[in-house]
Amino acid sequence: MRIAKIIGGLGVALAISASLVATASYGQVPRARAQAQAAENFTLVMLPDTQYASESWPEVFRAQMQWVDDQQSASNIRYVLHVGDVVDNSDQQYQWDNSKSAMGLPADDVPYIIGPGNHDLDSTTTRAATRYNLNYPRATFTGLPSFGGTYPSTQNDNAYHTFTAGGVDWLVVALKYAPNDSEIAWANQVVSAHPKHNAILVTHAYQNGTTKDANGTKLWTNLVSRHANFRFTFSGHYVNAGVISQQGVNGNTVHQIQADYQSLSQRDPNSYMRVMTYNPTTDTLDVKTYSPYLNRYMTDAKNQFVLNNINPVSPATGSRTEFESGTCDGTIDSNQAGFSGTGFCNTSNMVGAAAQVTVSADTSGAAKLTFGYANGGSSDRPTTVSVNGTTVGTLPFPPTAAWTNWATTTVNVNLNAGNNTIRLSATTAGGAPNLDYVDVA
């Protein structure tokens, strides 16, 4: 439960659609279950610039988040995406307090992620986010099942979360206002490591209606357009609303959605937010703009529309086990970009150097193991594979041209129901390749 559940008389809860059916599971569903899960409708809520609400009209902000709580089940609301400018004046603690009274803790009800805006920063020149981190610290988010990671690793300036909804996996990357090159590089690494997740970018300033600004142009060119799994970007900052639907270099369409209703002089515009329902059966995103405080929709074409052909990426089959979760005759490293999880096993360069993980199988019988690996050397790294102590063969692990080029190789094995030990042991003096993960299918 969030605190401050009291709303003004107009804050009547209203279901978006009577046809939406609640489902039992919230939070993250293990990958293996994602496909078995019914492909249900689900809803994302986008909160545009709440800065003046935090400053002057906290009741409209509270009404928004109260509505999210009340409708969580009926509308299957799975995430709140705050596109930044949580507050107007970051040096005014009361504005942060007003925002927190509305947002509650991210683990309270519907989880949320924030892409801090220019007003949330200490200074737009330094882009320091001390006050944002004091009020929305990383530690507040790490307990979420959907929490993925942050950059820098000890701060919440930039963050990614993952969740499963509508029968597929989603990755939300939230980048602080005006991302710099190292932040964009981090985001690229995160998106690359989640090829079977549908990527969503949340960032404050990206486009003004249907025209990208300098940040949006840079983010499109250097991040969003580059990945086949990008589907949406959400931003605010400009008092406007617009959508750009555009194909990236891999041919996938990315819907880039912007809205901001902030008004310094009037309360009511600040009370609107986006309520967006994905329907897997029709493959559509139904976008509505609603004020819980006024119980009113904006129904003009810029604010109420349907996006077709979202074409989400199917979830990975089987389950993944990261080599960093096992034992490694060498070191768990993270210096070669592009790996999945938090690192990889870099075995010592010697015969017999091994990496071992435990994988789980639902049933006994034939299974395919897919190893993610990199071999930046010039020759094969032949390595024996054994399952539950029995050698099943030797895989060559041919060169991948660079230590940052990650490839896959497969082997068919038999697994027991339950836990199985997978051990890779180098047969030559070069040791094993860098070992990232094993997928079981």
In sequence order, which residues have a C-beta less than 8 Å from that of residue 83 and are 6 or more positions away? 46, 47, 48, 49, 115, 117, 202, 203, 204, 234, 235, 236, 237, 260
Q: Are 244 and 207 in contact (CB under 8 A)?
A: yes
Q: Report, in Å, the least distance between residue 393 CB and Ca ion.
A: 21
Tell which positions 341-380 bind Ca ion, by CB under 5 A: 346
For ligand GCU, which is the closer residue by CB, 66 or 347?
347
Q: Which residue in 410, 256, 435 sits closest to 339, CA to CA? A: 435
For ligand GCU, which is the closer residue by CB, 208 or 349?
349
Question: What is the C-alpha to C-alpha distance for residues 227 and 195, in angstroms, rounded to an integer?
Answer: 8
Which segment (39-47, 138-146, 202-210, 431-439) binds Ca ion by CB under 5 A?
431-439
Q: Report, in Å, the least distance between residue 339 CB and ligand GCU.
A: 10
Of all residues in the shown chain, the one whose CB is closest to ligand GCU is 346
Q: How many residues line the site for Ca ion (CB under 5 A)?
A: 2
84 binds ligand GCU (CB under 6 A): no
For ligand GCU, which is the closer residue by CB, 51 or 346?
346
215 binds, among ligand GCU, Ca ion, none (CB under 5 to 8 A by kind): none
Tell which positions 126-155 bind ligand GCU, by CB under 6 A: none
Q: Which residue in 206, 278, 276, 218 sits closest to 244, CA to CA? A: 206
- Report residue 291: phi and psi, to 5°: -110, 105
- Contact residue for ligand GCU among 208, 349, 356, 360 (CB under 6 A): 349
346 binds ligand GCU (CB under 6 A): yes
Q: Which amino acid is at 420?
A: N
Number of neighbouring beta carbons within 10 Å of residue 381: 26
Q: Report, in Å, the least distance between residue 136 CB and ligand GCU.
A: 35
For Ca ion, which is the closer residue by CB, 85 or 329?
329
Tell which positions 389-418 bind ligand GCU, by CB under 6 A: 403
For Ca ion, which is the closer residue by CB, 99 or 346?
346
For the record, the structure tokens of 437 come out as 């993960």
In this structure, what is the dihedral angle of CA atoms 416, 421, 426, 427, given to the nearest 10 degrees?
-40
- Contact residue for ligand GCU among 156, 215, 336, 425 (CB under 6 A): 336
380 binds, among Ca ion, ligand GCU, none (CB under 5 to 8 A by kind): none
336 binds Ca ion (CB under 5 A): no
236 binds, among Ca ion, ligand GCU, none (CB under 5 to 8 A by kind): none
Bridge partner list, 176: none
Question: What is the C-alpha to C-alpha distance for residues 51 and 122, in angstroms, rounded to an integer?
Answer: 15
Which segment (97-105, 310-318, 378-386, 423-431) binds Ca ion by CB under 5 A?
423-431
377 binds, among Ca ion, ligand GCU, none (CB under 5 to 8 A by kind): ligand GCU
List % helix, strand, coil for the chain (3-state, nearest 5). Answer: 15, 35, 45
Q: Are 425 and 354 in contact (CB under 8 A)?
A: yes
- Contact residue for ligand GCU among 54, 431, 435, 437 (CB under 6 A): 431
425 binds ligand GCU (CB under 6 A): no
Q: Report, in Å, the least distance between residue 434 CB and ligand GCU.
A: 5
Cα within 13 Å of Cα(34), Cβ side: 25
434 binds ligand GCU (CB under 6 A): yes
336 binds, among ligand GCU, Ca ion, none (CB under 5 to 8 A by kind): ligand GCU
For the record, the structure tokens of 57 come out as 């009209």
Q: Which amino acid is at 41?
A: N
Q: Are 36 and 266 in contact (CB under 8 A)?
A: no
10 Å CB burial of residue 133 (0-12, 13-18, 19+) is buried
Q: Are 382 and 395 in contact (CB under 8 A)?
A: yes
For Ca ion, which is the closer residue by CB, 348 or 416?
348
Q: How many residues line the site for ligand GCU (CB under 6 A)?
A: 8
Question: What is the C-alpha to C-alpha distance for residues 421 and 390, in angstroms, rounded to an integer?
Answer: 10
403 binds, among Ca ion, ligand GCU, none (CB under 5 to 8 A by kind): ligand GCU
69 binds, among ligand GCU, Ca ion, none (CB under 5 to 8 A by kind): none
Residues interacting with ligand GCU, by CB under 6 A?
333, 336, 346, 349, 377, 403, 431, 434
Residues interacting with Ca ion, by CB under 5 A?
346, 431
